[in-house]
Amino acid sequence: MRASEAQQADSAPAQGESRAPVRADQAPQTEARDRFDRESPARASDSSRAMQEREQGDRRVPPAEQQGQQGRMQVPVETRTVSQQSRTPEPPAVEMPPDDDFAWFDDLPSHPGTEARGEAPEPPSIQTLDWDALSERVAACERCRLCEKRTNTVFGVGDRNADWMLIGEAPGENEDRLGEPFVGQAGKLLDNMLRSLTLARDTNVYIANVIKCRPPGNRNPEPDEVARCEPYLQRQVALVKPKLIVALGRFAAQSLLETDASISSLRGRVHEYEGVPVIVTYHPAYLLRSLSDKAKAWADLCLARDTWLAAGGVPSNAAK
Ligand code: URA
């Protein structure tokens, strides 16, 4: 069990509860900066200004040349201007193409294409992938450091057309070994809870985690790991199109709802993720240790069922 599962009691704020979950738009700074560089005209003009300045700097005489010219130079190096040091006269203005003749410009590609540069083409966006392509992308994922220590990625399991989608935190040791979510003791309790609602993972529920790889030593996932992994979950939600999401535990709830509010303040009402109603309840691993909160979890599941019905869920559908 990881710290976030163990520390969900209403009275005691969990460790790191003040940590605000990070979204994809908070990905590492370099990537954000690259994107900014590509997209921001203001920034682009800054870069071209910088480039002009660099070019002007390049026109200054390199130090070796300066040394070779010592004795002949009348002007101290630091104060020499471009015009004073220019050895190649500027071409006369008459050799320039007429101002309005840009035909030559159209023929030049502004950038060589990725293929011309010998690079692999960009893979399609995660948000366009179908189930097979998405699970393959996750299996090969190296978007964050968690890929280094995992045994298996844990994609998700269950009915891909389910009305109910349950979302946990991240794989633990057993899940990492077997490649399936919630296969340990917490998973057994979860299956029992589902059965009481005539739900089952292999018939009418889809189960996934916010994070697809096990954090080493079951530590809490880092914000950048959440940000890197979230597009996969977003795509899973888009493909399943559930009528209801149940967030299992503080970490899943905070990540989905982009909040650092306590689980006790999030329970008991309907939230939303990607347009789907969300009910928050305790993580089953926490319930294994805190039997007194099982009654509250049952109340959460009843609210989930009511919410599902209100969203058009058909009870006979429960065993589809
Ligand atoms: N805890 C989770 O949140 N997910 C799992 O898959 C297993 C344990």
Domain map (residue ranges) of the chain: 126-310
Of 209, 218, 286, the one to substitute when testing ligand 1's pocket (max ligand atoms within 8 A of C-beta) is: 209
| 100-104, 251-255, 273-277, 290-294: segment of lowest average pLDDT | 100-104
User: Residue 16 — pLDDT band, cuts 50, 70, 90?
Assistant: very low
Q: What is the gyration radius of the CA atoms in the chain, in angstroms?
A: 29
Classify residue 9 as exposed, middle or buried by CB count within 10 Å of its CB (0-12, 13-18, 19+): middle
Considering the entire predicted model, what is its pTM?
A: 0.68
Of 154, 155, 167, 169, the one to substitute when testing ligand 1's pocket (max ligand atoms within 8 A of C-beta) is: 169
Positive or negative, the CA dihedral 48, 53, 58, 63 is: negative
Q: What digits encode the pLDDT tens for the residues 43-82? A: 333 333 333 333 333 333 333 333 333 333 333 333 333 3
| Ligand 1 atom nearest 2 alpha carbon | 1
* Whether the predicted pLDDT of 147 surpasses 80: yes
Superfamily of domain 126-310: Uracil-DNA glycosylase-like domain (3.40.470.10)
Q: Could you give the angle at the alpha carbon of 307 between the alpha carbons of 309 and 262, nearest 5°? A: 165
CA distance 220 to 72: 68
Q: What digits encode the pLDDT tens for the residues 180-214? A: 999 999 999 999 999 999 999 999 999 999 999 99
Q: Which residues line ligand 1 (CB under 6 A)?
A: 168-172, 175, 181-182, 186, 209, 285
CA distance 267 to 313: 21
H helices of the chain, where? Answer: 3-6, 29-39, 41-58, 63-68, 82-85, 103-106, 131-139, 173-178, 185-195, 223-240, 250-257, 263-266, 284-289, 294-310
CA distances, 73 to each of 39, 64, 69, 76, 82 (Å): 45, 13, 6, 7, 14
Q: pLDDT value at position 112?
A: 59
Which residues, including other chains, have CB under 8 Å from residue 311's CB and lie 6 or more apart?
A: 163, 243, 244, 277
Of 8, 182, 220, the one to substitute when testing ligand 1's pocket (max ligand atoms within 8 A of C-beta) is: 182
* Whether the predicted pLDDT of 230 surpasses 50: yes
Positive or negative, the CA dihedral 152, 155, 159, 163 is: positive
- 241-265 residues labelled b (16+ CB within 10 A) or e (exposed): ebbbbbbbbbbbbbbbbeeeebbbe
CA distance 124 to 115: 16
| Ligand 1 atom nearest 251 alpha carbon | 3
CA distance 167 to 249: 9
CA distance 273 to 281: 15
Beta-carbon neighbour count of residue 308 at 10 Å? Answer: 24
